[in-house]
Structure 1
Amino acid sequence: MLTADLARSRTDGDTVTPLFVDPDDDRYQQTAAELIEIFTGHLGEPKGELEATIDELTIADTDYKIVQGLAKLLQDECEFEVVAPVDPQDIRRRLFEKANDSYPVVRQPTLGDDTQPLDIYSNVADRLGISLEECYKGMYADLDENKRLVRFGNQAIEGHDGEETTTTTQLTGDSAESYADDTITVEWLLTRYNLALAQAVLYDATEMRIRVWDSFSTVFSYVKLFGLMHRIYPIDNAGNRVESTDVADGYEAVLDGAASLFSKSRKYGIRMANFLPALPLCTRWEMEAEILDETTGTTDHRRTLALDHTDGLSSHYSAQSEFDSDVERTLADKWERANTEWDLIREDDVLDFGAEVMLPDFAIEHPDGRRVILEIVGFWTPEYLSEKLTKIREADAANLVVAVSERLDCSADDFEGMDDRVLWFKSGIHVYDLVELAEEYALPTNT
């Protein structure tokens, strides 16, 4: 994503609008193409040289924020590594020890009148079994500006396996359109940039309301993946709330934000920004967000950001996330190794509470047809939890069990009336503890 200083938006009254670029504009296409060429041409080169070349392009272009913003997104798709035949710390230690008696080690050895510094480099290089050049370049190879660009998109230098990656795209999954022909394209970069501009506005979001009419499980999977507290309501084709899922065409979700949770912290707003790319996975969607604006001199003034499927945004996220959290992934892995007749299944159905719905995390099913629903509580405020539990009690979901982390600031009192269906866990959920709950509370699927 973009850093806050690279955001571009305008305000008009109480609304805020990202300053999107036109992906078909020749000027932006040329800039994007030049940047992609720069990154491709610097594969294997030091990070400092790459950044210097980008700065030269920035000087020649009046749209500083656009150039730097596009470059930031490309850098998110890069991996930089220390490339040296020997650990740079070991090279430095040996050089300093060798030079400690009387000579400082200069940064640039020469063949001038005084050849002692060069002799020190040569001596250490011979002892390490490397060349003089490798010794010199490797001495500070672990400085950030000297790290080498080893991967850009799906292009990598020879010998780089690419198994370990920390890029934004790889963390969240990439769609089939992300890398056409194994390369980052101009179109990909410009559409990704517009999405990033919208994300940057959300850094100060306090609440988000979304409405979707398709791809429900995918969208709400990302809601949970990014730890967003949510309330979900069935809606009709016009976006109005309806009484039950029986007459619903879609769903509305209210995602609570930073103002009530972290007191001006951007932590929750950034989670909303990370969630935003999930919405363009839908054919039809709408989003409204309240944005905290402190430029007015007050701490409670908010503006509105509104986006929908007509804004031309596209997503680089996968269409379906298998697990919403590490806790879920670990539980599924444990279940595969466990000796039990019960099956752990990803839950796609909704619990209909009438005017509100809930999407549980798993179903646990027995071959004889009995079934229990599992909800994992991982992120909440007391008000959020109280409201959710109230809905659960009203729905009388007798086969619903809840797993709650002991790290959360809550107790059995918060689950009054259903505390016997709560499984407390520390670092992970134990399979056989869940099986015991399933044996007790599972109901036949035909009831």
Structure 2
Amino acid sequence: MIPSDLLRYKIDYKNNKIFPILCSLDNKNTDYQISKKIIEIFDECYNKKYNKEILNYMIKLLEQSEKDYKLVRGLYSILEKKCVFNSVFVNEKNIDSQNFNIPKETIKELTPMSIRRMIFDESALNNIAITEDKRKEILKRVSDKLETNIETTIKLMWSDLEENTIINGYNSLEPLTLLSLYNLSLIQTLLFNCLKMDIRINSNKSIGSLWKEILREIKRLGLMYWLEIDPNGSNDIICTVEGALNIIKLTEKYGNSIAKLVPLILKANNWSIKADILRVTSSGNRTIYNFEITEQSHSDKISSNTIKKIEDESQPIDDENKNNTISYDSNIEKIFAKKFELFNTGWKIDREPEPLITKFRTAFISDFILTKHENKILVEIIGFWTREYLERKIQKISQIIENYDNDNFYLILIINSENLAMYETNQDYSFSNIKNRSNVLIISYKNENISFKEIIPFLKTIERKYIDKNFEKKIDKNNVLLSIEEIFKEFNKSVNTKISLEDLNETLKLSQEKLYTNFDLKEILENNFEFKSVVEKKLRLKELIMVKDTIFKETFIREICGGLKEYRKIKNLKDVCDFLSSKKISEKIHIDLLIFMGFKIDWNGLDYSESKISYIH
């Protein structure tokens, strides 16, 4: 942020709008040249160890040559905050670069205050210096003790005054980066007198994580907020943040807090800000102006990539792949995510989705969301927290369920076993309201061990419900069965010995134009038992056999079975698998096919060559 008196803005009195005068991020305009010159001044002062007095003098010369005083001073104030100014005593390097003729051993023991004390002590011993000669005499005696000259002693004596400090720490910026920071600071400074701000964000990455970061900061800053769905039908979430409730007693306290949210908002790929800004005229009149800015309308002046780059550079990075990894609030969340992926359920898992709005217009952001087709399941993991926190959490979840209770809303609540026992004992309204719903699964975990024994069946139930509902609703079942029968008929006429369910599914889609895009025959067979029984009947009539996700001709199965029984080279399971592979049978169904044909496998570890096989029926 920059001082309020350096704010550059323009007012559209006709439309009652206010807007900061932002710099274009273009390396061919005047703003870029000014930014470059200021950076060069700082670089020179840092490298040559010029003090702040010289730095300010060089900036004043630049102000005189340029027309825009506020721009020069604004850019200067941003760079100044990124510098560390210290006395030349901070380290030996600075002393050497200033060419102070003083032994290093001596300088290590000194500070500007200690030198002043030496001079005052010497003055007290030799009476106060009331003449220039007496002054030089006292300074000479102190300089002799320091083994240096009078000029150096005077410099060191006042080296801790602000105008005498030098830049001890400084990371130079690119001109465009400085202009980006300046534009950000202008927006923040304009918001110092903000009464209310509406925020919208969108992101390619976890939108919930970004909302959670913003809402946490709002709470930390002590601001009031509420959420609502855009009434214009875009379904975007609008977060309204309030500043001072009374414009008569307005201070910059609330506006300053609101301004601190801007860098977080700019992290989003797509964002917009609307605010009410109070300005006081020279005559004392108070007027509220509208301020609006979006990423799309000002992408040439506000670069979210630049802001993010600046943030990344300002923080130490332990892992070079940090930006590509998902961060978790707790270890139990990480364990759940990794374990869920291992089950290969077909459900997509995402971290911290978009917020849901409670009936009191606050936000709830679940730890995960599972999605498949049109189904969405929120997953919330509740660890070991204080009783008060847990009660608030359960109450908020209860409000969400009341707000979003419909056929497509599901929730998995994973609670620490000790906390679950407490809920079961107390049985308050909020927990009972959650527990007694069929679309909510509540399980417990202990010692960071989450069981999926109940989770997988819960997912299967939702899939089955969805397929039953949409299979009847979206397609003509009789037409599909007729097409399947026709495909079986053509398959029997062909020289092919097998067909996968995946190929059958694609053939069905070509023959049935009205089939929805996500139509999945394998999934329907797994979840719709009535339809599966009809298909199996048609398979038997056509002398076809389905093993796992592959359909074989019955004659081919008999041929394979007979071949295995007569094949003399077969000594173990590895030989059998080699034989099946020679018949172009996929390795993933070898075991299922062998069991179907009546073979028994005597396993000896995981080594196929050590496992024996025999025919039992």
Q: Tell me if TM exceeds 0.5.
A: yes
- Amino acid of the structure 2 residue aligned with 1:146: N
Deviation of 1:306 after TM superposition, in Å, equals: 0.3
Q: Counterpart of 1:79?
A: 84
Inter-partner Cα distance in structure 2 for 1:72 and 1:93: 34
Structure 1 residue 390: Cα displacement: 13
Residues 1:229 and 1:252: Cα distance change in structure 2 (over 3 Å): same
Indicate the residue corresponding to 1:440 in structure 2.
Answer: 422
- For residue 73 of structure 1, report the CA deviation from its aligned partner: 1.4
Match of 1:65 among 51, 67, 70: 70
Cα 1:287–1:436 change in 2 (3 A) is: same
Match of 1:218 among 194, 198, 210: 210
3-state SS, counterpart of residue 199 of structure 1? helix
Q: Deviations over 1:126-166 (max 9, x none)?
A: 445666444221111111111111122x2xxxxxxxxxxxx
Tell me which amino acid in the other structure corresponds to 1:225.
Answer: E
Query: Which residue of structure 2 aligns with residue 94 of structure 1?
Result: 118
Specify the alignment match of 1:415 in structure 2.
none
The structure whose RCO (Cα within 8 Å, separation 6+) is larger is 1
Do the aligned partners of residues 352 and 18 (structure 1) sit closer, same or farther apart at CA in structure 2, a change above 3 Å counting? closer
Q: Is the 1:45–1:148 Cα contact (8 Å) retained in structure 2?
A: yes
Matches within 5 A, 1:118-157: 118-128=136-146, 132-152=150-170, 154=171
Which residue of 2 is the match for residue 285 of structure 1?
271
1:327-355 per-position Cα deviation (integer Å, ceiling 9, x unaligned): xxxxxxxx99xxx999999x946465258
Q: Is it true that 1:184 corresponds to 2:164 in the alignment?
A: no
AA matched with 1:371: I
Other-structure match for 1:6:
6
Alpha-carbon displacement from aligned partner over 1:41-87 (angstroms, at most 9, x marks no partner): 00122111101110111012111111111111111211111222422
- 8 Å CA contact 1:360–1:374 kept in 2: the answer is no
Q: Does 1:33 align with 2:22?
A: no
Q: Is the 8 A contact 1:209 1:255 kept in 2?
A: yes
1:265 maps to 2:257:
no
Distance 1:321 1:374 in 2: 33
What is the correspondence of 1:343-382 to structure 2 with a 5 Å cutoff? Answer: 348=352, 350=355, 352-353=357-358, 356-359=361-364, 371-372=382-383
User: TM-score of the superposition, structure 2-length normalised?
Assistant: 0.47
CA distance in 2, matches of 1:294, 1:118: 55
Spell out, residue by residue over 1:207-226, the C-alpha distance to the aligned partner (whole angstroms, 9 max, x if none).
11101122442354144336
Structure 1 pair 361/126, CA: closer, same or farther in 2 (3 Å)?
farther
Percent identity, aligned pairs only, is 22
Match of 2:191 among 192, 202, 205: 202
| 3-state SS of paired residue (2:85) | strand
- The aligned amino acid for 2:189 is A
Provide the rounded CA distance (Å) in 2 between the counterparts of 1:437 and 1:127.
72
Matched residues in 2 for 1:37 and 1:12: separation? 36
Distance 2:141 2:154 in 1: 12
Contact 2:358/2:400 (<8 A) preserved: no
1:202–1:270 contact (8 Å) kept in structure 2: yes
Distance 1:372 1:270, change over 3 A: same
Residues in 2 aligned to 1:38 and 1:213: alpha-carbon distance in whole angstroms = 39
2:25 to 20, 23, 45: 23
User: Partners of 1:217 and 1:205 in 2: how far apart?
Assistant: 26
Amino acid in the other structure paired with 2:8: R
Does the residue aligned with 2:197 lie in a helix, a strand or coil?
strand
State how far apart, in whole Å, the 2-side matches of 1:356 and 1:21 are: 37
Provide closer, same or farther for how the CA distance between residues 359 and 104 of structure 1 changes in structure 2, counting only shifts above 3 A: farther
SS in 1 for 2:22: coil
Sort the Cα spacing of 1:306 and 1:438 in 2 relative to 1 into closer, same or farther, 3 A: farther
Q: Deviations over 1:383-435 (max 9, x none)?
A: xxxxx99984961899xxxxxxxxxxxxxxxxxxxxxxxxxxxxxxxxxxx99
What residue number does 2:586 align with? none
CA distance in 2, matches of 1:362, 1:262: 42
Q: Which amino acid is the alignment partner of residue 422 of structure 2? A: E
Do the aligned partners of 2:208 and 2:365 also contact (CA within 8 Å) in 1? no
Aligned-partner SS, 2:266: helix
Cα deviation for residue 269 of structure 1 reads 0.4
SS of corresponding position for 1:311: coil
Q: Aligned partners of 2:76, 2:314: CA distance in 1, in Å?
A: 28
Question: How many residue pairs align between the two structures?
Answer: 338
Alignment correspondent of 1:104: 129
**Where does residue 233 of structure 1 map in the other structure?**
227
Q: TM-score, normalised by structure 1?
A: 0.63
Alpha-carbon distance, 1:6 to partner? 0.5
Q: Give 1:195 deviation, angstroms.
A: 2.0
- Say which is worse superposed, 272-281 or 19-28, in terms of deviation: 19-28
SS of residue paired to 2:281: helix
Letter in 1 for 2:77: K
CA deviation after TM superposition for structure 1 residue 254, in Å: 0.9
Gaps of 5+ in 1: 155-182, 243-247, 323-334, 364-368, 378-387, 399-433
Task: Give the 3 Å change call, closer, same or farther, for CA 200–373 of structure 1 in structure 2.
Answer: farther
SS in 1 for 2:261: helix
Q: Is the 8 A contact 2:244 2:250 kept in 1?
A: yes
Name the SS for the 2:277 alignment partner: strand
Where does structure 2 lack aligned partners over 5 or more consecutive residues? 90-106, 316-328, 337-350, 369-379, 403-415, 425-441, 445-454, 459-617
Residues 8-66 of structure 1, C-alpha deviation per residue, up to 9 Å, x if partnerless? Answer: 11111321011123332532222111111100000122111101110111012111111
Would the aligned equivalents of 1:16 and 1:305 in 2 still touch at CA under 8 Å? yes
C-alpha change, 1:396 and 1:254, in structure 2 (3 Å) is closer
- 2:82 and 2:4 mapped to 1: Cα distance? 19
